[in-house]
Structure 1
Amino acid sequence: MKISRRIAVTVAAAATAALLMAGCTSRNDSGASDGGGDSGGGDLTVAFVPKLQGIPYFEAMNTGGQKAAEELGFTWLYQGPTTADAAAQADIVRSYIQQGVDVLFVAPNDPDSLAPLLQEAKDAGIHVATTDTDAPDSVREVFVSQASSQGIGETLTDTLLKAMGGKGKYAIVSCGETAANLNAWIEVMREHTAEKYPDSEIVDVVYAGEDQAAATSMATDLMNAHPDLTGLVGVCTSSAPGVAQAVTDAGRIGKVFTVGLGTPKSMQPYLESGASSGSILWDVEALGYLTGWAGVQLASDAGFEATNKVSDALPAVEYDDSTKVLLLGPPMIFTAENAGDYDY
């Protein structure tokens, strides 16, 4: 059954590609069948397991994946743990392996512990890939990356240090201690700070998990421990509003500057109040759409070109064959002026 299904998927995906080349759009109007994110109606199933379900960031990715499913004609499955827990995430991955999905995308909480499960999925005939967060030492076939680590780390640093006047001490509140993408961005921040801002230094890095309240508490502790601290960075979508809230609660807006990777809606109040000097992110729904599109490419063995026209909104997505990375594009900076233009 699995072999014949793969053949059918290849034929269906090729037909979809032909329609897209002709400028047509195939849409299944049935929409989502339940709150878990099922969408589309094709035989091809693309499953996505986020780090955490229920937060605006990954829900926006789910929306983008659903849109891709409706337009390209496949079934999109979405389920993640209710806490950022590697073991709970692994249980969901095992469930999708047992279901025999065609393509499995994961944003791993712990890339190393997940690697054996991705091997198990591959052995079962499932295409395996990562999105948002990579597991580079695994059998994943592609990593759908939101932006380059260099671009994100440097933009975070430059935005903060501009607000700080190019000098001073700052601290970082991250989320998962084992998250490969967050750690890569922090490393770039360390290097970029040392090279470009000799009068500035990072005094501490702490980890709040995917918990906004914990991020606020930790940011408050950092300000108390370092009275001369003038900057805070929230390196994930829960810690970004968390550090801005801490500065607000402490009455230190304009004295301690913050930036972070926050969704536009969650950061808008802080951008408007001045508690945040900028939110660095990307089009999260577009990242979900690109993930779904990449799933179709994997299932049909179509591969990726150096430059890919995914849709009218994503006309030139670059792919690096040496690293197997599909890159959404450069990061965006959200401010008080443009944050209200987005609904996530």
Structure 2
Amino acid sequence: MKKIVAFFLAMSMVVVMLAGCGASQTTPTTEAPKAETKAATEAAPAAETEQKELTIAGIVFKDEFTMKMVQQGYEDAARDYGVNIVIGNSMGDLANEQQLVYSYIDMGVDGIAITPYSEEASIPILKEAYDKGIEVAVANIKLNDASFVCGGFTSQDLLNGQKLGDYTAKYLSDKYGNDLKIAIMDFDATIPEQSKARYGGFLEELTANGVNYEIVAQQSSTSKNDNVPIVEAMLAGAPDCNVFYCTSAAFTNVVVQVVMNMGLADKITVVGYDMGEQTATQLLDENSPLYCTLEQDMYTMGYKAVEQLARTLRGEETECPRGDTVYLEGIIHSKEDLPEVQTWLDGYYKLANG
């Protein structure tokens, strides 16, 4: 009965017909707010007229900006490769995700691109879809068992941390000498492996660039909110701090705020992780201590997931081997290129309000 209900729910969704060779209907696209993304600029072959018309389902798991970027990637790749696409949102709920997949199985889609709810709990339903002849490509996370997936695209926190360390090493050593006093705000208490990779990669690359440092303060937080007293206490206990490394956008935003409120913006440089509206605004503020941050390339994850499906279904060569995952480089946004940051922010407003 659930499948029948899900079927009719799915049939009521709007199917976005995307232009292929000779097609007359296109999906309006919104420019993704990033200058370094390569996927959108790579030429995609036009679908041959004799090929079967393909329909791909694209599933995201939240109604937020990062997922809108993934969805935009889905839609742009579908347009470029001449396939039809339907979009669903599990809203961060495993039961919703399962219902969506069942509905797409009943619809007879050829492939599913998905940002899964869970690296473990999402496997059974996706494997069931594959066993029924539907190809699956994954974006944003790596499944614990990805052997049946035609390809996956995500980012890796260690590599991103290393990129931030390499990017900032010369700037920080030129500004403060070869003796950095670093404070770190992490989320070791909730997701230790991810958190440690983000700041561990940063510190590793400082060392690789010959930069000496000392950790003068480090605090884990379990909340995105109410962190002002934590940061104030960290800075009060480490008066020699000159670099503050943050492992999330939420931490970045509050650290910048506290550093400015305490009158320490000329003394402390903030290095962030992840990108958002407030982070971009802080980068553009000439009085802000935020030097740079790194954005995970959500748009390209979505684009490449649909691209992988289209190529796989047509028997073409693909970028990612079956069962494997490709890790995409993060994108640095910095005070060194404020026009690029403004372009990103303009794109954010366009996509968020579109």
| Alignment pair present for 1:132 and 2:140 | yes
| Alignment pair present for 1:274 and 2:288 | yes
Counterpart mapping for 1:304-343 below 5 A = 304-305=318-319, 319=320, 321=321, 324-329=324-329, 331-335=331-335, 336-342=338-344, 343=347
1:229 Cα shift? 3.7
Query: Is the CA contact (8 Å cut-off) linking 1:46 and 1:295 kept in structure 2?
Result: no
Structure with larger Rg: 2
**1:28: which partner in 2?**
25
**1:185: which partner in 2?**
198
**1:142: which partner in 2?**
151
**1:285: which partner in 2?**
299
Unaligned runs of 5+ in 1: 1-15, 33-41, 82-87, 306-318
| Alignment pair present for 1:46 and 2:57 | yes
**2:39: which partner in 1?**
none
Unaligned runs of 5+ in 2: 1-17, 30-52, 349-354
Query: Is the CA contact (8 Å cut-off) linking 1:174 and 1:234 kept in structure 2?
Result: no
TM-score normalised by the chain length of structure 1: 0.66
1:304 Cα shift? 1.0
Structure 1 counterpart of 2:293, one-letter code = S
Structure 1 residues 43, 188: closer, same or farther in 2, change over 3 A?
A: same
Structure 1 counterpart of 2:252, one-letter code = A
1:171 Cα shift? 0.5
**1:95: which partner in 2?**
99
CA distance, structure 1, for counterparts of residue 76 and residue 259 of structure 2: 37
CA distance, structure 2, for counterparts of residue 68 and residue 243 of structure 1: 37
1:255 Cα shift? 2.7
**2:257: which partner in 1?**
245
**2:42: which partner in 1?**
none
1:203 Cα shift? 4.6
Q: For residues 18-46 of structure 1, give each alpha carbon's deviation from its aligned partner in whole angstroms, at most 9, with x where no partner exists.
A: x7xxxx685733559xxxxxxxxx75122
Which structure exhibits the higher relative contact order, with contacts defined as CA atoms closer than 8 Å and separated by 6 or more residues?
Answer: 2
Query: Is the CA contact (8 Å cut-off) linking 1:281 and 1:331 kept in structure 2?
Result: yes
Query: Is the CA contact (8 Å cut-off) linking 2:219 and 2:234 kept in structure 1?
Result: no
SS of the residue aligned with 2:263? coil
TM-score normalised by the chain length of structure 2: 0.65
CA distance, structure 1, for counterparts of residue 83 and residue 204 of structure 2: 44
SS of the residue aligned with 1:29? coil
Equivalent residue pairs, number? 290
**2:214: which partner in 1?**
200
Structure 1 counterpart of 2:245, one-letter code = V
Structure 2 counterpart of 1:199, one-letter code = Y
Aligned residue among 53, 72, 81 for 1:63: 72
- Identity percentage of aligned residues: 13
| Alignment pair present for 1:230 and 2:242 | yes
Aligned residue among 173, 191, 201 for 2:186: 173
1:77 Cα shift? 1.3
Structure 1 residues 246, 66: closer, same or farther in 2, change over 3 A?
A: farther
CA distance, structure 2, for counterparts of residue 296 and residue 322 of structure 1: 14
